[in-house]
Chains A and B, each alone.
Chain A
């Protein structure tokens, strides 16, 4: 009888351990969000991530610049369709001053493949910060970190400025075979609503859902 009791106890224990492991592997979906799947060009990879429910339209394009493929960027964007749909292009272009609420994913059109992209890259993180600071149009950095998300290290940098226009940006950068892939959430608005108040926190939560797989 005692032996049977111990066996039942062990079975219950292992089932509960298994349950805990599954919960850890399945992060809770942030509120008011949906999961989307994005295939990067040329089998570079497949990105699964959650985006806000209000992002009801998506499109992709090539941002052409001034030196051919190495300067051109493939961009993928998610945003509400009631806001202006803009595809930036050129070496110089006009940045919108208002009515922006979007996620843009981008990578260079030139991506030589090299191994060695998995390490935590403190040098890259420092350079990203310096690049953001060197552009006076960016709001001040309020938070930055390097975080491992689904087995991949991301540099995460949040910026914000509150004036008559509230500007909030959260940039996350990782690499695929040593090529940088950028995820940037941007909000430019006059409103001080819950979207604006929680934008940085929500964006970071959504970034934590990024999974990149099935890549070359």
Chain B
């Protein structure tokens, strides 16, 4: 019996179902696996790392992988009729969907920006719900 594959460039917390208030705050990047991802997606290490960091942030925002049933919409409300993460390509695409494709098509995909429609939640709204909508400030804190 073989464990097949097992490449995880990123490990993050999806707070769904957790009773621990601090869950949903951690994203860990594995450098070796990110090199594999970069090589499989014809991208640089930095692009691969940036992608999986954004992907992990989506999990922190309670999102499942692209195309999967999510249960909760972009505002964190349970939808009894079902609600789905938009189909790949987008930031929540699972690893095997990325293989052999350019990362750019996942990063620049319009489905990352779309409002909720036809049973699909809004990825952008889920990020805003989780992280807010402040103007980005790239200045690092200094001591």
Contact = CB atoms under 8 A, between A and B. Distances in A.
Interface of A: 59, 64-71, 84-96, 110, 112, 114, 116, 121, 123-124, 126-127, 130-131, 134-135, 137, 178, 180
A86 to B, nearest CB: 5
Interface of B: 1-14, 16-17, 36-37, 40, 55-56, 59, 64-69, 71, 78, 80-82, 84, 87-89, 94-99, 119-120
B2 A87 contact: yes
A91 B95 contact: yes
B1 A85 contact: yes
Given A66-B11, A71-B14, A180-B69, A137 B80 contact: no
Given A92-B98, A178-B80, A180-B69, A86 B14 contact: no
A182 B91 CA distance: 24
B94 A91 contact: yes
B56 A121 contact: no
B118 to A, nearest CB: 8
Given A67-B13, A71-B65, A93 B119 contact: no
29 contacts: A65-B65, A66-B8, A66-B56, A66-B59, A67-B13, A68-B13, A69-B17, A85-B2, A86-B1, A86-B2, A87-B2, A87-B4, A88-B5, A89-B6, A90-B8, A91-B7, A91-B95, A92-B5, A92-B7, A93-B96, A96-B4, A110-B16, A114-B78, A121-B82, A123-B82, A127-B67, A127-B84, A131-B67, A180-B69
Nearest to A94: B5
Main secondary structure of the interface of A (DSSP, over half): loop
B45 to A, nearest CB: 16
Contacts of A126: 119
Contacts of B16: 69-70, 110
Contacts of B13: 67-68
Contact of A92 (B37, B66, B87): B37
Contact of A67 (B7, B59, B71, B96): B59
Contacts of A87: 1-4
A112 B71 CA distance: 9
A135 B65 CA distance: 13
A87 B116 CA distance: 35
A124 B78 contact: no
A185 B14 CA distance: 30
Contact of A68 (B14, B65, B99): B14
Contacts of B2: 84-87
Given A84-B2, A127-B119, A91 B8 contact: yes
Contacts of A93: 4-7, 95-96
A92 B5 CA distance: 6
Given A69-B16, A85-B1, A127-B120, 8 more contacts: A65-B65, A66-B12, A84-B2, A87-B1, A88-B5, A90-B7, A93-B7, A116-B80
